[in-house]
């Protein structure tokens, strides 16, 4: 059974999330102490984390960053903050999506289901391709191995989460073509994903921080103002 870790200190909201998710066939575990999240994820197997931002003693943002640095798992942030800067900060730290309080429980379930399906698609594809090693794409000092889901820069392997890798691979396999945020969103996230194309910009920025020499002056993934993004590739 699919297992979800709910990190929420508000008992009423936590049990609301638990009841609706379990009524839709998911197994859940409640945790109200953010400092115990990493240990819990390492000791037990989970398929998704539902993470509140405002937690006592530790920020949900810090927890999100720590999870993403160590564990590859979908993270859905729950927040009462609706300002764009707060949302962007959460996505920039590695969250896959967010939902604001108060929320419609059916929407919460829909988003959880969407992320789980997307993650399953990515990981199943990864498993099939890991059995077929070979092709590489070299762009400047970055080497992408589409069939092994590995990325190297200056000979050092980079830690690239699934969705970021999907985006990088798609751009690398379609170089020198400008794609709008909406086109990339459809290709990587699909129609069933419950969010918007703004998340593409967040993932592009995260990729730039890893593969560019200077993320503020990108040479590999270029912004074409008013049009979208293009991965630059020139044969040597």
Residue-level pLDDT, tens digit, the chain, 236 residues: 899 999 999 999 999 999 999 999 999 999 999 899 999 999 999 999 999 988 888 888 899 989 988 888 889 988 876 555 666 677 777 788 888 888 888 888 988 988 888 777 666 655 444 434 447 889 989 999 887 888 999 999 998 887 888 899 999 989 999 999 888 988 887 655 545 667 888 889 989 999 999 999 999 999 999 899 999 987 65
Class of domain 133-231: mainly alpha
The verdict on pTM exceeding 0.75 is: no
Q: Where in the chain is the domain with CATH 1.10.10.10?
A: 133-231
Which DSSP letter does residue 103 get?
-
Asked whether 76 and 85 are in contact (CB, 8 A), the reply is no
Give the helix, strand, coil percentages of the chain, each rounded to 5: 45, 20, 35
How many Å apart are CA 218 and CA 200, to the nearest integer? 16
Residues 6 or more apart in contact with residue 208 via CB below 8 angstroms: 215, 218, 220, 221
CATH superfamily of 3-126: Response regulator (3.40.50.2300)
Its sign, for the CA torsion 149, 155, 160, 165, is negative
Residue recorded with tokens 């590739």: 233
Q: Where in the chain is the domain with CATH 3.40.50.2300?
A: 3-126
Supply 27's token pair.
């197994």
């Amino acid at each position: 059974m699919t297992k979800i870790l709910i990190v929420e200190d508000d008992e009423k909201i936590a049990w609301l999330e638990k009841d609706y998710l379990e009524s839709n066939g998911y197994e859940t575990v409640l945790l109200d102490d953010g400092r115990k999240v990493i240990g819990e994820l390492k000791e037990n197997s989970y398929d998704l984390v539902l993470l509140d931002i405002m937690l006592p003693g530790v920020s949900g943002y810090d927890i999100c960053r720590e999870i993403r640095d160590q564990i590859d798992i979908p993270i859905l942030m729950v927040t009462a903050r609706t300002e764009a800067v707060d949302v962007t900060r959460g996505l920039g730290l590695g969250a896959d999506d967010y939902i604001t309080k108060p929320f419609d429980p059916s929407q919460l379930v829909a988003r959880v289901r969407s992320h789980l399906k997307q993650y399953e698609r990515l990981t199943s594809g990864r498993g099939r391709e890991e059995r077929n090693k070979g092709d590489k794409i070299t762009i400047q000092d970055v080497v992408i191995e589409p069939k092994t889901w590995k990325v190297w820069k200056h000979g050092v392997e980079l830690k690239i989460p699934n969705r970021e890798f999907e985006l990088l691979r798609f751009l690398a396999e379609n170089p020198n073509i400008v794609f709008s945020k909406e086109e990339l969103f459809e290709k990587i996230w699909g129609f069933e994903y419950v969010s918007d194309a703004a998340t593409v910009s967040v993932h592009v920025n995260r990729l730039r921080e890893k593969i560019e020499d200077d993320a503020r002056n990108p040479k590999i993934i270029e912004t074409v103002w008013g049009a979208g993004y293009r991965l630059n590739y020139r044969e040597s």
